[in-house]
């Protein structure tokens, strides 16, 4: 398997000729799906069969966290925002942990039915009550609860044969600005940011497969957003925390990435800082610019990326799907 360093997206429900040609270029190593790529289970299955026929080695990803961030909805289980699990923790910690594992397993199992390799989950940010873009996507407001529930969610994903990606390192929950629309700055010292780092440390120890850094500048420590920062990716993540998994950039079209320059410059800086794969979403011209840069630069392929391919699931007891769906339904009713 040879996986290129660019992950991009598709326009619609079927491949057009230009996209077929695009996916065959070896520097394209990943594909991220959005809601616009899904109408029915039969349609998505047909789309994925064509994609796999073109590029069996392509990493196919999606954001299927639950709550607000769930790209596939019709024909699959509605998942609650993870904050509902955190709320349940206050009543019954053991059951909340068990239910988190069941939801991680269910999400991954349903995605694997479409031959999707992985979801960018779980969210490891803390809910400080400040960030609208994080908010109820976070499991809780304390590192202990986030780490415990996210570890259980990850264990469920692993049971289904899916790798897990923790985001957004070293923590996006404190800043008020949305990095999709602005350039957030977290002015806290490392002693305070260490609270946000704690869930990442614990999940790395538990076998976290990948991490996505935040497009946030932590100004007391580095003048670049974390995803372009040697300090955060090499010194802290690879060095101090000993993480040897995959690092995915967050979407390079986000406003938080604009400080790095044009699209080729953003890709160059992210890869130089330590990212294994860069995402360019919802901007075909920008993706093509990055693709041309990668071709000209002859960027090396990260051997870590193969770890994100789906694996055979662990054998599961009969009736688990129905039980997991009942848990999801019960938690969604609590959200309402």
Q: Is beta strand 69-70 parallel, antiparallel or unpaired with respect to 64-66?
A: antiparallel
Write phi, then psi, for 40 (nearest 5 degrees).
-140, 160
Q: Is beta strand 277-279 parallel, antiparallel or unpaired with respect to 246-251?
A: parallel
Angle of the 93-112 helix axis to the 143-159 helix axis, nearest 10: 40
Does an H or E element contain 169, and which?
A: strand 165-169
Nearest Cα residue to 278 out of 247, 315, 242, 236: 247
CA 272 to chain centre: 20
Residue 129 makes CB contacts below 8 A (sequence gap 6+) with 141
Catalytic annotation, pick one of 136, 196, 209, 250: 250
Catalytic annotation, pick one of 57, 115, 178, 180: 180
Are 203 and 170 within 8 A, CB to CB? no
Q: 180 an active-site residue?
A: yes
Write phi, then psi, for 74 (nearest 5 degrees).
-65, 130
Q: 63 an active-site residue?
A: no
Are 168 and 180 within 8 A, CB to CB? no
Give the separation between CA 151 and CA 268, rounded to whole angstroms: 32
Written as six digits, the tokens of 329 are 């339904």
Give the separation between CA 189 and CA 282, rounded to whole angstroms: 34
Write phi, then psi, for 320 (nearest 5 degrees).
-65, -40
Write phi, then psi, for 157 (nearest 5 degrees).
-60, -45
Q: Which residues are catalytic?
A: 180, 250
């Amino acid at each position: 398997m040879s996986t290129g360093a660019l992950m991009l997206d598709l326009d619609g429900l079927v491949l057009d000729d230009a996209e077929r040609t695009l996916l065959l270029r070896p520097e394209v190593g990943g594909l991220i799906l959005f809601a616009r790529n899904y109408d029915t289970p039969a349609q998505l299955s047909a789309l994925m069969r064509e994609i796999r026929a073109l590029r069996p080695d392509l990493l196919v990803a999606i954001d299927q966290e639950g709550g607000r961030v769930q790209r596939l909805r019709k024909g699959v289980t509605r998942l609650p925002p993870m904050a509902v699990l955190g709320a349940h923790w206050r009543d019954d910690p053991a059951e909340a942990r068990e239910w988190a594992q069941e939801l991680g397993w269910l999400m991954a199992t349903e995605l694997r039915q479409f031959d999707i390799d992985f979801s960018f989950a779980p969210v490891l940010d803390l809910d400080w009550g400040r960030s609208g873009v994080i908010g109820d996507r976070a499991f809780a407001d304390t590192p202990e609860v986030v780490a415990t529930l996210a570890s259980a969610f990850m264990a469920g994903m692993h049971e289904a044969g899916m790798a897990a990606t923790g985001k957004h390192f070293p923590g996006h929950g404190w800043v008020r600005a949305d990095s999709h629309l602005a350039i957030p700055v977290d002015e806290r010292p490392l002693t305070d940011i260490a609270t946000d780092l704690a869930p990442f440390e614990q999940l790395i120890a538990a076998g976290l497969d990948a991490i996505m850094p935040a497009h946030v500048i932590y100004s007391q420590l580095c003048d670049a957003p974390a995803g372009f920062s040697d300090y955060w990716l090499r010194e802290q993540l690879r060095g101090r925390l000993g993480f040897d998994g995959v690092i995915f950039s967050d979407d390079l079209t986000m406003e938080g990435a604009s400080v790095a320059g044009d699209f080729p410059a953003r890709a160059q800086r992210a890869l130089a800082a330590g990212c294994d794969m860069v995402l360019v979403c919802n901007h075909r011209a920008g993706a093509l610019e990055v693709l041309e840069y990668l071709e000209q630069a002859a960027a090396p392929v990260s051997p870590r990326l193969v770890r994100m391919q789906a694996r055979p699931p662990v054998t599961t007891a009969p009736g688990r799907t129905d039980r997991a769906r009942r848990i999801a339904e019960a938690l969604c009713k609590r959200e309402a």
